[in-house]
Structures are given as C-alpha cells and as structure tokens.
Structure 1
C-alpha cells in the first residue's frame, strides 16, 4: 500500500516515536506526533548505540548528524568491582560502529529529522484514552482521529492497554541508578563494567569524554517506583556501591543528582495491533537494561513498521507483517538481557570463580569468541530488505 497521504498519529516523543514519525513521513505519510512533556529533553542519561541501531539511523538519513553528537566505543572492559581487577575485554573491532551518546543529543537529532520530514510535533499533550478504531482522547478532552495510531508511549502505554487490557508487571527485585558526572581525566573510549555479587555498575564517556555516564543496578527486596525520572538520594547511591574500587569512588563522590527506578518485567506483548492501532518500542517489548538494546529495538521497530506498511496490500496486513517480523527477535533480546542480569550478579563461590576465569581465558586466547556470541544481535540489518 502507498503511505502517501496516510494520516498517522504517533504517541510519544521518545527515540522510538520520533524515529517512527520520520520513517513514516519519508514514505509519504502525513504525521502528527503527540508528546506529554513540555519539551523534548532528558536529563542526565546516556545510551549505547550498537551497529544494528546505527544502521537504522543511517537509513533514516541522519548518520552525519548522529556522528557529530556521539563518541565511538571500542569495547567493554569487565572488572571485578572490589579492586578493579580486569576480568575480560570484549572488543568491538570489525563489527561496525558502536557509539555512546547523550540521550538528549540523540533526541535532538531525531526531532530535527522528524520536523524536516514534515512531522507536526505537539508538546504538552497527555493522552487519556486510545481506541483501536483510530481515536485518541487527550486529558484536556480534545478528541483526535487518524488512519493509523502508533503507540510509542513507553512503559506505561495507554495504547498497549487499549489492545491488551490492564496488566500488572512483576517487580524483579532489582533497582537501577543513573547519574552523570564531569570527568576529571580523559576516559578510554570504552564501557567499563564493574561486577559484584548482587550488583554491577557500568560507566562510559560522553560528549568527547567531558562527561561520565553511570548506570548501576542492585538486587533489592524493597519495592521501588518504576520510571526513569524518579529522583534518588546521592548519599544512598554512594552507600549502595561503597565497596567498589578503581575509579568508581571518585565518580560517586562527584554525583550531585541521581535517578533511581525499580525494574519490572512486563513481558513481550502477545498482540501488537488492533484495527488501526499498533504498539512499538517499550510499549510492545520493554526490556531490562542489561544488554543496552532498549533504544535499538525502538529504532528497528520504526524502520520495519514503515517498510512493512509500504510493502503490504492493506493496513491490516502491514501491521500483521510488522509483528511477525519483530516479535521473535524482540523476545530473544529481552530473554538475553534477563540472562545477563543473572550473569552480572553471580554470588560468591565456585560458579562465579569459574565463570570469570573462563571469560578471562577467552579474552586472552580467543578475543573474537566473546563478541561473536552477539553477532546475531549486532549484525542484524533491518534496513537491508
């Protein structure tokens, strides 16, 4: 079907929503995007962009702009948390461009790209109800209709509820912290992963090495609120990771603001579309942050949704093809991220000792083995078809 003139309404101005808006607009759709925030911005957050996501950014025609705001990464250095001893290094060489970027910078690139493609962006629009027939009701009472409604409205998706009904996520008893600090000295262009029983911490440079992005996760019996913008206590953050060595204490000492959120397991949606409504990104397949693929899956979704609709005989067929093309891969990614949570947090004992020695041996004697385990993930190119 031709997307020329299709009236599409995208809910959510995050990475997935902006990418979907541009992808649809480039194929001729008339796109409006609704975002509940008053401005498209995110405070103190970095993301890692693997080659599978970078290929979508390139296909969207935004590679030069993205290169200007991102820093290339050469790999992941895994360390024992207590003393900082290196366990293994996972090199990225030969597997495409891996990049670190401040989320606000990537959002700015995508926003400009969407507007340049003719997308109308409306801010401060909170959605109260979504109906499968293409109707959306705002909190203000305003009613909108569209030929296609794309629910890219995140973890607490109103669009997902319209398709599947109310669902209760399960608390994983894991808690994540996110902070951004100034770098006192240049950092190597890589991610550093510090491993400890029941917790881990990842850090990598942003904006030319001027900033250090920190994401730390711990097992926690106490329930914690879900959501990326929940304010945390810097003193509590420092106390939770006080036993970490190497450069970590210096980073934690400089933390002035930190975000804290509980990790919940929602499950990949059993159904992604209904009539003229479709969900994507975190609304369809939220994942734990242990594989750095949340944004990547949203970008892949955006491209595939537009491509499948453009190649289908009808809207219904295109939406069905979109789910068929994406569901198994997203489920595999979500499962792999869940497995990483267990692997990162191994308790003290023989199993942990053996696992770390095996990682070290593979890193030294067969450096291609560790990154090769994720060729199925990073090597994917959803734009090739």
Structure 2
C-alpha cells in the first residue's frame, strides 16, 4: 500500500501533461478521472520534440516501445544562417549516445497517452468542463489560459513579445532525422521531419501587430512565404508545400508564484507557460507529472506533498523559461551583433564541437525518475 492507493484525483485537461499525470498516478494506485472540455482529443496537427529528460519519464511509464514505433530519433540540432550556411551543429547522438531525443506528431503522442491511461483504469470524460470542486485533489493541467492559475495567483496580464509564429505540417518524405534552425534578423524558422513522411515547420517573425494566444488561429500561407522569401537552403521548397498554417502571438508569462492550495494544484503551462525556443513546453509538463505523482505517493500529508512538488519543480522550470527567453533574442540578432555571434559559434563548431551541447547538460541529463521526492 502507498499513500496514493485508492485516492480519488481529478485531472482537468487531457493534454500531454494531464494525461501523463493521470498515467503516473494510476500506476501508483490512485482512482483518476480526467475531464476534457473538448468533445474529442484531436488537435492541431503539430510536431513536437521530446528531449531525453522527458523521454526518461515516458519510458518509466511503459511507453518506450510505443514511442519507438511512433517517433523518430532526433540525431542533431543544426543552426544555420538565412542563406542556409551552417553556423553550429549539436550532435545529440555523439554527445549523449545513450539518451533518446525523439520527434513525434503531437496527435500521435496524445493518442498513445490516452490509450495508456484508459488501459490503466483511468476514466476519461470528454466534453466536460472541470472545476476545483471535483472529488479529491484537483490537478489543473488546462494550459496557458488556465482559470485555475488565476484562482491561486489572481489576474495576470501577459506581455506580448512582439513575435508572431506560424505552425504548419507538410508532406516531405526525405531528409535526415534532425532539427534545423534558420536564423535571420528579426525572425527564424525551425523544421524537423516526423514519421509517416511529414515535416513540422515553426516560423517566427517579429512584428508590432498583436495576435491572440493559442494555436488554432488560421494563417495565410502566402503571407508566411512572403515573410521568409529571402531565406535559402531547403526553406523555400518547404514553404512552397504549405497549404494550411496556424498563426499565434507569443506572450511571456511569469512562472506562477503559487502552485497549490489544500485541494488544487497547477501543472504544466498552467503553472509556467514558456516560449517555444527551447522545445521544453511538453517536457516540463511531463517532468511535472512524474514529480507530482512521486510526491503524493511518498508523502501522506497532501499539503506537504504539494509543497514539496512546487519546491522541486519551481527552480528548474524558471531556469528553463529564462533560457527559452534568451534563445528568442539570440535567434533574431541583426547587424554587428549577429555577425559577431555567428562567428563565435562557427569557431566553436570547428574547434570544440562538444562545448555547445555540454552547455545544456543541466537540462537534458536531468532524470526526474531518479529524483527523490
């Protein structure tokens, strides 16, 4: 018997974080109900990068074989200038040969998690609006627009970064399994392949116009192509195949100061929304899910368990959010700063190729499964 045996827990939100939390809790004996206000789990068909820190959790939850079948192993991250010339290549396989970095279609990951939670005995209810009045502990995994964050922290106004992003998935059967970044003054584009002959594209442009947060706002493919028309390498060929794109404004939120009360706790974007420039939004939610379940399992007093969860998670996610903010600046450098920064990176790429991957050891080598609650 553990502290979670037969305890009722309600998870609000059937995204990556909510489903991972439900699975981790059910594996430890909790009676879990997941409430999702959408009538179906289908969402915008985007790609996602899962770095080794998050994959360790999914492996521990028994999803390793399914991920092997449904994802590609990411071999590298390469930074290029707008002309398509290599600036820096971070070889993930060489620096961390035993770690797995994966590229997966987000709907595929959601489907894998949904199948796993239901097989574990979790009740999944769609088309239901959840609230903190549900039975037992309530976990708010309801995203960056979480009303439950405001319950704990009061109203907050996010800061518009002046950046707007397009997201698209195109048919593209070729190319190595690696992430490519193309950097230009005031904008950049990230792309990587997905299973089943697809390619994910995220293109970010600085602009003064304000755009609402969220992924589902339709964008104009021709405007996307026009904004990145002077990029070279494979970019123009990729953009020529874009038929549908979604557009959203990028906003900066502070990490929540208060993550819980006696019966409600925040998880993932509800606690710490991040800019998409370190590919850690899903990873942080997956880490949160494991740590929250481990704390509740190890510490019988619920209030003490929730306090321990926040104490373990808040410093790490704050560092990750700040690092993503830094990449937002570095990718868009112009003028003399851009020339100087790219020159330094090219020297490091030639003379010390392990230096830059090593700068992120603190991020990728972290193992949530091994952490003591």
Question: Shorter-chain TM-score: which interval?
Answer: over 0.9
Q: Which runs of 5 or more structure 1 residues have no equivalent in the other structure? A: 136-144
Provide the residue aligned with 2:277 in structure 1.
290
Give runs of ≥4 in structure 1 deviating > 2 Å.
none
Separation of aligned partners in 2, 1:289 and 1:20: 22
1:203 corresponds to 2:191: yes
Are 1:44 and 1:178, in contact at CA under 8 Å, matched by a contact in 2? Answer: no
Provide the residue aligned with 2:168 in structure 1.
179
1:87 corresponds to 2:87: yes
Separation of aligned partners in 1, 2:258 and 2:162: 27
Partner SS for 2:369: coil
Any residues of structure 2 matched to 1:49-198 within 5 Å, and which? Answer: 49-81=50-82, 83-93=83-93, 94-95=95-96, 96-127=99-130, 130-131=131-132, 135=133, 145-183=134-172, 186-198=174-186
Provide the residue aligned with 2:199 in structure 1.
212
1:383 corresponds to 2:369: yes
- 1:3-49 CA distance string (max 9 Å, x none): 11111000000000000000111111100001111111223200101
Provide the residue aligned with 1:139 in structure 2.
none
How many residue pairs are counted as aligned between the two chains?
A: 367
Which of 293, 307, 324 in structure 2 is aligned with 1:337?
A: 324
Partner SS for 1:41: coil
C-alpha displacement of 1:113: 1.0
Separation of aligned partners in 2, 1:248 and 1:98: 23
- 1:241-281 CA distance string (max 9 Å, x none): 11111111111111110010001111100010011100010
Which of 211, 217, 224 in structure 2 is aligned with 1:224?
A: 211
TM-score by length of 1: 0.94
Provide the residue aligned with 2:289 in structure 1.
302
Separation of aligned partners in 2, 1:9 and 1:57: 21
TM-score by length of 2: 0.96
Are 2:103 and 2:193, in contact at CA under 8 Å, matched by a contact in 1? Answer: yes
Which of 344, 360, 364 in structure 2 is aligned with 1:374?
A: 360
Q: CA RMSD in A?
A: 1.1
- 1:308-328 CA distance string (max 9 Å, x none): 111113000000000000000
C-alpha displacement of 1:123: 0.5
Q: Which runs of 5 or more structure 2 residues have no equivalent in the other structure? A: none
Are 2:44 and 2:215, in contact at CA under 8 Å, matched by a contact in 1? Answer: no
1:43 corresponds to 2:44: yes
C-alpha displacement of 1:147: 1.2
Separation of aligned partners in 1, 2:33 and 2:300: 23
Partner SS for 1:203: strand
Separation of aligned partners in 1, 2:42 and 2:370: 31
Provide the residue aligned with 1:4 in structure 2.
5
Partner SS for 2:211: coil
Partner SS for 2:328: helix
Are 1:32 and 1:119, in contact at CA under 8 Å, matched by a contact in 2? Answer: yes
